[in-house]
Amino acid sequence: MSPKKPSCFGLDYDKNIQKMLPNYIQFHQAVIDLIQTYTPSPENWLDTGCGTGNLAACLLPLFPKTTFVLADPSSEMIAATKEKIKSKDVTFVFGGSQELEFEDDTFDVITAVLSHHYLSKEERQKAVANCFRMLKKNGIFVYFEHIRPFSEKGIEIALHRWYNYQIANGRTQEEVAQHLSRLGKEYFPITVADHLDLLKQTGFDCVEILWVSFIQGGFYAIK
């Protein structure tokens, strides 16, 4: 039977995200397809950097036997998520990936969609190491991040493509210019090779690329 696909992107916030991020819905579809393939009935799932709960809203009907923890370092995001997610099987936690204090070997799945690229190199290492610690043996860590092209020319081309995408989706030139100017100032993407090296150095046994497009990438690693 084919995996079910999510259809939960009706809010204005989500529409704005899709204007900024090419293939945003595919991030969630890729997560769902991977988990349905690897571990169809996980017991405990942490979604760190949960934002307003878009991913969780997709997951809950597809994984009815799973207990979810939704964490975010923004109290505003947690409040918005609580408005969207109404389930006794969900716990809400304030804090970033590097700060969470769950016991070792707690989760079967940990996801992080576009949350670690705001961190410094040291904070990112701490965040990934903490996710590794909280995973059970054979648990899976899945995350999506902005990625940095390998060359300056590659960065130039990628940003130009991203500019064109946002303009084509109704954003103004001023909005797009402000958004793209944040690179290296407010968020700090690393290359695909750096992502893979970080996961391997953290101790994951299986490290793979899940998905890449524009300057966003998805990765998964198994403990």
Question: 3-state DSSP call for residue 62?
Answer: coil
C-alpha span between 168 and 20 (Å, rounded): 10
Structure tokens at 95: 């804090």
State how far the alpha carbon of 9 is from the alpha carbons of 16, 91, 120, in Å: 10, 22, 30
Whole-number pLDDT of residue 1: 36
pLDDT of residue 19: 87
Q: Quote the CA–CA distance of 191 and 147 in Å, as a whole number.
A: 5
Residue 54 backbone phi and psi in degrees, to 5: -60, -50
What pLDDT does residue 187 have?
Answer: 87
pLDDT in tens, 71-130: 999 998 899 899 989 888 899 999 999 999 999 999 999 999 999 988 999 999 999 999
Give me the domains of the chain, ranges plus CATH numbers.
Answer: 12-150+187-222 (3.40.50.150)
Residue 220 phi/psi, 5° resolution?
A: -140, 150
146 phi, psi to nearest 5 deg: -65, 145
Number of H helices, E strands in the chain: 8, 7
Contact of 117 with 192, CB cutoff 8 Å? no
pLDDT at 10: 38
Ranges of residues in the chain with a pLDDT under 70 are 1-15
Q: Can you give the pLDDT at residue 24? A: 87
Which residues of 52-148 form beta strands (DSSP E)? 67-72, 90-94, 107-113, 135-146
